[in-house]
Amino acid sequence: MGFDMRSALKSKQPLIGTIVSLPCPQIAEILSCSGFDWLFIDGEHAPLGPLEIQSILQAVHERCPCVVRIPSNEEVYIKQVLDCGTSGVIAPRVNSAETAEQVVRFAKYPPQGERSVGISRAHGYGMHFEDYMERANDETAIIVQIEHIEGVDSIDSILDTEGVDGVFIGPYDLSASLGKTGNLSDPEVLRCIHHVRDRCLDRQKPVGIFTMDAGAVSSLVDEGYTLIAMGMDTMMLGASAKRMLDKARS
Ligand code: 3PY
Ligand code: MG
């Protein structure tokens, strides 16, 4: 098992990452070589199943931790991505403490939870089984996404849930749940984002957020965010292709 993502989160050192959405291990490999602190592998919105996720983890290898966002908060997704060897899971749309508890239960081996035991890549296909079993509960990060007004309203009970290591705010879904899709500077959207951030900071819980804007990252870090996902692979590819073309044609 490569990375202790739980300790990395607890250290509160800013971790700047980006979203990997393309089912192409070389792209994740390139991003890891470029020096990101972590990679957010998107199994929720991107066409990444367990095989693609495993290939991405193999390509990134030990360059940086990869944390996988699961498609939904069901046992099967949680155990498959953990068994592939991810350093943590990001659970989308956690709107209640019950959902947070369920994610923790499926992600932790007994006695803390009910994670199923299988022979898998996470422990070298059995070759480091005992070592992994000893460390997995302590080192695997469980991050819940707050991205709906119901999650905002339940933030205190979600933060009370034993085993939740950090919160990641999804501003786009949150804005949609308020009827303001994509309007991230709307005062109500901002009020919800700031409320979640402040509750996390008050409770010493690591908090992260997604931004498309690299220029916003240093102020996000000043505000207390330590887990940043900045842009995504497709955007970087598109933007740099367009920049080169525009220059060539100017
Ligand atoms: C959102 O903005 O809804 C996200 O999930 C970003 O990762
Ligand atoms: Mg979202």
Look at residue 1 in the predicted model and tell me its pLDDT.
61
**pLDDT exceeding 70 applies to what percent of the chain?**
100
Ligand 1 proximity of 171 Cβ (cutoff 6 Å): yes
Tell me, yes or no, if 45 is annotated catalytic: yes
Q: Measure Cα distances from 59 to 24, 53, 94 in Å.
A: 9, 10, 30
Domain range for 93 is: 5-249
**How many angstroms does the Cα of residue 145 sit away from the middle of ligand 1?**
8
Residue 120 region, left (φ>0) first, then alpha (ψ -120 to 50), else beta? beta
Domain count, the chain: 1
Q: For all residues of the chain together, what is the average pLDDT?
A: 97
Strand partners, 39: 18, 66
Ligand 1 proximity of 210 Cβ (cutoff 6 Å): yes
Measured between alpha carbons, how far apart are the two ends of the chain, in Å? 50
Cβ partners under 8 Å of residue 154, min gap 6: 95, 96, 97
Reported as a pLDDT band with limits 50, 70 and 90, residue 2 is confident
Ligand nearest to the CA of 40: 1
The pLDDT of 66-76, averaged and rounded, is 98
Please give the number of the atom of ligand 1 that sits closest to the Cα of 229.
7
The pLDDT of 190-216, averaged and rounded, is 98
Q: Give the mutation target among 144, 173, 189 for probing the ligand 1 site: most ligand atoms within 8 A of CB.
A: 173
Nearest residue by C-alpha to atom 6 in ligand 1: 170
CATH code, domain carrying 167: 3.20.20.60
Q: Residue 184 pLDDT > 70, yes or no?
A: yes
Q: Measure Cα distances from 215 to 114, 149, 228, 246 in Å.
A: 42, 27, 12, 22
Look at residue 100 in the predicted model and tell me its pLDDT.
98
